[in-house]
Structures are given as C-alpha cells and as structure tokens.
C-alpha cells in the first residue's frame, strides 16, 4: 500500500488550556522531527506527517510519548466522486494484500469536521455501497473483520483501515528534569520509562559497586540506557556513573552488617540529591516496589529517605513483580535486565527489614557517610 501520510492522534494534550496545548504540540512535533525526517502539519487536534521513509516513521512513532495512536492513510479532496474513486482503489489494494475479500465482513467508520452537504451517516452509507459493489463483502457494524475509516476535514478527506497504538503520555521535555537511579535490574529502567512517559527528562545515575559487582555490570547498564534513550527522542537522555565500592566497603566494616543494604540505599539517595541540585532536577526516581526486597519494606523506605529533602518518586510502589516484568518486556528492557552479571556480593545473609531511624543515623555517623559521599561525587563521570 502506498500511503500519502500518517495521521497521529494525541490524548491528554487535547484537554489542556489553549496556551499549554500549543506548547505541548510544539514539543511533540519537535520530538517527532528529531526521530526521523519528515514534514508535519498540526490542525484540529491531529498531527499530519509526511515522512521521507515510512518504515522508519512507523517504528519510531511507537516510541514517542504523547502519541496515543497513528494511522497510515491516503488522502483525496472532499468530493463524493473523488472519495468514491479513491476508496475504490484503496479497496483494490486491501484485496491484493489479502486484508479484505468477499468472505470478510466490513464496516465504514465515517466522521466529519467542517461544513458539508452530507452528514457523517450519509457518507458512511455512500462509502459502504462503494465497497459492497467492489468486493461483495457483507456489512457488519458491530463486529466487522475489517474497519475502513473515512475522515473528512473541511476540503481534505483521509482513508485508512488501521489504528496503531502509541505509547501515550506527555511529550518528553514538557515536565522538567528528574534524576533516576539506574541499576542493571528489572525495576529501575521501568520506573525511568514511566516518568519519561509523564513528560520528564531523565538524568540516570548508576552506582558502580565494584569490587562487589563485576565490571560487566557497567556494559549492561550502558545497553539499558541505550534502550531507554530510544524513548527520549528530542530530549537528551544522560547516563552518569559514580564509584560506590569504597563507600559500600566502609558500610560493611564500620556498621552493623544487617544495615548494609539500608545504608547503601541511603547513600544513593543522598548522592542523587546532590547531583539533582547541581543539574537543576526537581526530584529523584527509583524502582522501589513495596515489600519486594529487604530495602523496600515500609520501615526501610522511611529510614532510607529520612534525611533527604528532595521528593523521591517511586512509580512502581504498588506494582508486583509480574506486572513490572510484563512492562519491562513491552518496552524492551527485560532481555537486557536478565543478562547475568553476578549480582552484588555486599548483600548480607540476613538484611535488616525493620530499620530504626535512630540506629540508621548512628550507623551513618559511624561510616562517616557525608565524607565518604564526597569521594563518591568526585568520581562522577558522564557515559
């Protein structure tokens, strides 16, 4: 099928105030153009794209936030004779592709914007007669095998038969910056993805726990960042790494072993807060899911975040492991997350699950956390 253009639909953007809507539309257009070469026109709640390469466009549009759905379409002028001729040719191509035949039922879905000398219902009946004469398919308005959409917008008419789901959400870059803790696990990349879907620019921070983790873990995180970067068209997705092994070693040597994971996460939050302040980010994101691991029990969540003044967002907090894994598979991070990397050998055999804030503060002092984190921050580098 040789299409003229792609019709893109958005959702939430349409209910914003006119001023905000225009700003969001402008960012959406910018993000699309950054992904692939195309011409774009925005009118009456639709984005009309004429790509230079349709295959590239069809792949990228499934990864650009703000897009609810899109349809490759052909266009003609709003004249019943021209519509009939174009629809006749369109059905021929659908038949050649094996999409419609005399054995398949069909329905016409017609809608109009503007003033015309026919109603949407009359257009639907007219177009249905054209298809029936052409192919002999039975009409089924309730549960058809094939739906053919005819969208009339003033002097232009568009015909298409499929709606491809986009990722939804808000255009990346419309909601400010966040610092995201990014490990090689399943949860943290999903959390970053969810906040990107809400329009946020992500600065990812990876804590390199060597010698308690293998060097391969860095390469794994780079692959993870590359995958997430695919969803950040138009907005730079940054990955930064800090050396964390020395601080973790101090936690094991100078504090109760059971508190190692609690102190580890506490130090991550403090480090992320300082980096966020430097970068002008407004909050921290992590992949915590209530009760999933020792550091994510409610007492431990409270203890690790106790002295952090910046908001910590945990979009997965109410999700279970199966839900998180399913989302990871959908966005393409799961296969990277399960690459073996040896895990972290610093995890104690019996980690604390009910941390007391006063004990945690005492342990931080024993470790000299503030001083140790200065060294961590000095190791910060961009990847």
Please tell me the predicted confidence (pLDDT) of residue 122: 94
Q: 353, exposed or middle or buried, with CB in 10 Å at 0-12, 13-18, 19+?
A: middle
Give 320-359 as a DSSP string: -HHHHHHHHHHHT-HHHHTS-----TTS-SS--SS--HHH
What pLDDT, in 10s, does the model give residues 271-300? 999 999 999 999 999 999 999 888 899 999
pLDDT mean across residues, the chain = 94
Owner of token pair 């073996």 = 340
Q: Which residues contact 352 (CB under 8 A, 6 or more apart)?
A: 256, 258, 259, 261, 262, 294, 300
For 63, the token pair is: 């990864």
User: With 80 as the cut, is the pLDDT of residue 191 above it?
Assistant: yes
CA-closest candidate to residue 203, choices 245, 235, 171:
235
Q: Binning pLDDT at 50, 70 and 90, where does residue 173 land?
A: very high
At residue 178, the pLDDT reads: 98
List beta partners, residue 181. 205
How much is the pLDDT for 2? 84
Q: CB-based contacts of 101: which residues, under 8 Å, 6+ apart?
A: 95, 135, 137
The pLDDT tens digits of the residues spanning 222-266 come to 999 999 999 999 999 999 999 999 999 999 999 999 999 999 999
* pLDDT of 365: 95
**Domains detected in the chain:** 5-165 (3.30.2130.30), 177-382 (3.40.50.620)
What confidence category does residue 73 fall into, taking pLDDT thresholds of 50, 70 and 90?
A: very high
DSSP 354-378: S--HHHHHHHHHHHTHHHHHHHHHH
Mean pLDDT over residues 145-174, rounded?
A: 96
Q: What is the DSSP string of 94-142?
A: HHHTTS--TTS-EEEEEEEES--SS-HHHHHHHHHHHHHHHH-PPB-SS
**Model pLDDT, residue 234:** 95
Q: Is the model's pLDDT at 1 over the cut of 80?
A: no
SS3 of residue 278 by DSSP: helix
Q: What is the pLDDT of residue 16?
A: 87
Contact between 31 and 90 (Cβ < 8 Å): no
Summarize the confidence of residues 199-204 as an average pLDDT. 98
Decide: helix, strand or coil at residue 318.
coil
pLDDT in tens, 156-166: 999 999 999 99
The beta strand positions in the chain, using DSSP E, are 5-9, 38-43, 46-51, 69-77, 106-113, 146-153, 156-160, 164-165, 177-181, 201-208, 238-243, 284-285, 312-313, 381-382
| pLDDT band at residue 152 using 50, 70 and 90 as cut-offs | very high
Q: What percent of the chain stands above pLDDT 70?
A: 100
Q: Tell me how far apart the terminal alpha carbons of the chain are, to the nearest angstrom.
A: 42
Higher pLDDT, 1 or 198: 198
Strands 156-160 and 164-165: unpaired
**pLDDT tens for each residue of 311-360:** 999 999 999 999 999 999 999 999 999 998 888 898 998 999 999 999 99
Q: What is the pLDDT of residues 93-144, one digit of tens each?
A: 999 999 999 999 999 999 999 999 999 999 999 999 999 999 998 999 999 9
Q: Are 177 and 282 in contact (CB under 8 A)?
A: yes
The mean pLDDT of 41-49, rounded to a whole number, is 90
Q: Are 13 and 66 in contact (CB under 8 A)?
A: yes
Q: Are strands 5-9 and 69-77 parallel, antiparallel or unpaired?
A: antiparallel
């Amino acid at each position: 099928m040789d299409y003229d253009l792609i019709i893109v639909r958005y959702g939430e953007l349409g209910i914003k105030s006119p001023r905000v809507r225009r700003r969001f539309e402008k960012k959406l257009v910018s993000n699309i153009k950054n992904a692939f070469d195309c011409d774009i026109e925005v009118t009456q709640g639709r984005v009309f794209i004429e790509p230079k390469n349709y295959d590239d466009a069809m792949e990228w549009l499934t990864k650009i936030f703000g897009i609810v759905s899109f349809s490759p379409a052909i266009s003609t002028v709003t004249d019943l004779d021209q519509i009939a001729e174009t629809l006749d040719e369109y059905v021929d191509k659908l038949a050649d592709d094996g999409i419609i035949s005399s054995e398949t039922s069909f329905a016409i879905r017609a809608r109009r914007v503007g003033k015309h000398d026919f109603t949407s219902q009359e257009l639907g009946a007219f177009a249905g007669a054209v298809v029936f004469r052409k192919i002999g398919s039975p009409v089924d308005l309730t549960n058809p095998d094939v739906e053919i959409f005819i969208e009339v917008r003033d002097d232009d008419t568009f015909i298409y038969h499929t709606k491809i789901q986009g990722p939804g959400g808000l255009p990346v870059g419309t909601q400010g910056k966040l610092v995201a803790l990014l490990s090689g696990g399943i949860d943290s990349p999903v959390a970053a993805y969810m906040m990107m879907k809400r329009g946020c620019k992500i600065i990812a921070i990876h804590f390199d726990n060597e010698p308690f983790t293998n060097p391969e873990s860095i390469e794994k995180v780079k692959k993870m960042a590359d995958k997430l970067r695919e969803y950040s068209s138009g907005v730079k997705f940054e990955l930064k790494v800090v050396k964390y092994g020395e601080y973790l070693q101090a936690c094991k040597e100078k504090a109760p072993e059971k508190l190692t994971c609690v102190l580890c996460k506490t130090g991550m939050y403090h480090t992320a807060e300082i980096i966020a302040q430097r970068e002008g980010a407004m909050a921290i994101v992590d992949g915590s899911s209530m009760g999933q691991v020792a550091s994510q029990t409610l007492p431990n969540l409270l203890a690790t975040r106790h002295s952090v003044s910046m908001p910590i967002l945990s979009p997965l907090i109410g999700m279970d492991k199966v839900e998180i894994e399913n989302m990871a598979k959908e966005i393409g991070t799961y296969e990277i997350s399960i690459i073996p990397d040896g895990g972290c050998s610093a995890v104690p055999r019996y980690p604390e699950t009910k941390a007391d804030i006063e004990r945690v503060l005492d342990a931080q002092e024993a470790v000299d956390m503030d001083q140790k984190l200065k060294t961590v921050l000095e190791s910060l580098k961009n990847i």
